Amino acid sequence: MTARIAIVGDENVALPSHREINGVRGMLGDDVSTEWLSTDGPRVADLERFDGIWLVPGSPYANDRAAYAAVTWARERDVPFLGTCGGLQYAVIEYFRHVLGVAEASHAESDGAGAGNVVSALACSLMGEERLVRPIRGTRFSRLVGDESFVGMHYCGYGPAPGVAERLAAAGMLVEATADDAGAEVLELPGNRFFMLTLFQPQIGALAGKPVHPLLREFVACALERATGRDQAVAGVASSSASN
């Protein structure tokens, strides 16, 4: 049994974050298969074969529509989803548009500054910046990191606009960590098997040999759980067909 994880984004090894993603891919386990899916390629429209979706940094994407569609696909089907940096930003907008019904929800960087922005420029850019990530006790993320604060690396200049985190919390999404200059650092949609969003980049450190971040381990574990269920369902169908 192998968990298949789609890395949705436009691979660019000039970006430190993408080099680190490639570094961590081989550390996720022998039972995990990862594949880059460019947002402007044909394969991103075929997510059915994947057990986990990771929407990675690098926005605006070559095809923003495909990035939003990947979020919707995972959220509605309860497929483990991890959105980091740009992935968080697009998942927040997707949630506003399709769950809260705010059709005009937009991104200041890709859509232009305007009244509909739910993602806007951070007051202090976090491009190449470290910040202390403070988990909120009692949350899933806090349990994953042992209730301990840690230093997280960022390569982002945008995040949820002022007041957006509060609107998300009122609609059922949880804020699970904060950081100076970043505000809502980690978000979770608790009704799903795994739907977590971060501004910090959990893959950073892979190339230096650091252990896989607990958030990535949990993402992979949930993808493996889904893969096991998928394989059992296929086996059950095959067994039923044979007996008939």
Report residue 103 as tokens. Answer: 């059709």
Distance CA 236, CA 54 (A): 29
Which pLDDT score, from 0 to 100, does residue 240 have?
A: 52
Q: What mean pLDDT comes out for the span 103-117?
A: 96
What pLDDT digit, counting tens, does each position of 28-83 carry? 999 999 999 999 999 999 999 999 999 999 999 999 999 999 999 999 999 999 99
| Distance in Å from the first CA to the final CA of the chain | 26
Query: How high is the mean pLDDT of the chain?
Result: 94
Look up the domain containing 213 and give its range. Answer: 3-243
Rounded to an integer, the average pLDDT of 13-38 is: 97
Largest CA distance in the chain: 65
pLDDT value at residue 244: 59
Total domains present in the chain: 1
Confidence band, pLDDT 50/70/90 cuts, at residue 230 = confident
CATH number for position 37: 3.40.50.880
